[in-house]
């Protein structure tokens, strides 16, 4: 079977429903680009299923999806929202020869809450984190009404994300990422500290990297009011890398 030059691997965030990222799919289908969009462990069912899940489980699920997609394509572009950026970056480091590029949206590298340093203690005392929709955080109020994310999650799941991002939030880690990168963030993120997106961009080892800021949308960048502009940026990045891969594949065939 002839493999496609490029495929895309799409990761959601912590507590996310898949509809937080599935708006990307029509943009890929226009170009017949294969993709995988897995639910990471504990998601897509009920919040209780996150109990006992470790960050290594999220990585294992992400790696399984990558290997599955590589049966169909030569190289992969990773597109990851929030917590999904952690296994996304981790895989990029581990499988760099198979990764054509990476897109991160509001990379989960530090929570915006001033209580972030106390998360380990809070997880011991409080077993649940309850999420309350804050209309003022959303640019598109109609999209807020359709939010299907978990309304609460176990505190242990938040702690696992914190453990994961503390491992990844090191210059010597992200400096290993050499592939083309598109870093997208919003200054109106009240979930993840937006300054960490700039930190990520500054510390990436890639010479081909772009930082794109938005100033109206919330943390849910692929659902809120500027989603079409965000999707345009992702599409342009994917198409550019796909065109390069197609040309390279053609040259190999001629040889």
Q: What is the pLDDT of residue 1?
A: 66
Q: What is the pLDDT of residue 94?
A: 98
Q: What is the pLDDT of residue 252?
A: 65
Q: What are the pLDDT digits (tens) for 17-54?
A: 999 999 999 999 999 999 999 999 999 999 999 999 99
The string of DSSP codes covering 149-180 is S-SEEEHHHHHHHHHHHHHH-SHHHHTT--S-
Q: Cα separation of 12 and 188, whole Å?
A: 19
What's the whole-model pTM score?
A: 0.95
CB atoms within 10 A of CB 147: 16
Answer for the pair 131, 149: CB distance below 8 angstroms, yes or no: yes
Q: Cα separation of 106 and 186, whole Å?
A: 7
Residues in Cβ contact with 2 at an 8 Å cutoff, skipping those fewer than 6 apart = none
Q: What is the pLDDT of residue 62?
A: 98
For residues 130-134, give the mean pLDDT: 81
Q: Cα separation of 86 and 164, whole Å?
A: 7
SS3 211: strand
**255 has a pLDDT exceeding 60:** no
Q: What are the pLDDT digits (tens) for 86-96?
A: 999 999 999 99
Q: What is the pLDDT of residue 234?
A: 98
Q: Looking at the domain that runs over 4-254, which CATH code has it been given?
A: 3.40.50.1820
SS3 75: strand
Strands (E), the chain: 4-11, 35-36, 73-81, 99-105, 128-130, 152-154, 181-186, 209-214
For residues 217-238, give the mean pLDDT: 96
């Amino acid at each position: 079977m002839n493999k496609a030059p490029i495929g895309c691997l799409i990761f959601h965030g912590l507590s996310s429903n898949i509809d937080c990222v599935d708006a990307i799919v029509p943009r890929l289908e226009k170009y017949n680009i294969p993709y995988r969009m897995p639910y990471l462990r504990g998601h897509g069912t009920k919040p209780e299923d996150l109990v006992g899940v470790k960050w290594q489980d999220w990585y294992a699920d992400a790696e399984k999806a990558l290997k599955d997609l590589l049966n169909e394509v030569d190289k992969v572009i990773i597109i990851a929202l929030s917590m999904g950026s952690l296994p996304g970056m981790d895989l990029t480091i581990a499988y760099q020869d198979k990764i054509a590029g990476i897109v991160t949206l509001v990379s989960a590298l530090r929570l915006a809450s001033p209580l972030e340093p106390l998360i380990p203690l809070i997880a011991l005392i409080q077993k649940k984190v309850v999420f309350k929709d804050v209309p003022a955080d959303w640019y598109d109020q109609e999209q807020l009404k359709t939010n299907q994310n978990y309304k609460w999650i176990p505190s242990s799941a938040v702690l696992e994300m914190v453990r994961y991002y503390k491992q990844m939030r090191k210059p010597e880690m992200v400096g290993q990422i050499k592939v083309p990168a598109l870093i997208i963030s919003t200054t109106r993120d009240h979930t993840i500290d937006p300054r960490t997106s700039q930190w990520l961009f500054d510390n990436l080892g890639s010479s081909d990297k772009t930082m794109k800021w938005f100033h109206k949308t919330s943390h849910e960048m692929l659902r809120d009011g500027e989603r079409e502009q965000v999707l345009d940026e992702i599409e342009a990045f994917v198409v550019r890398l796909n065109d390069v891969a197609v040309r390279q594949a053609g040259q190999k065939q001629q040889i």
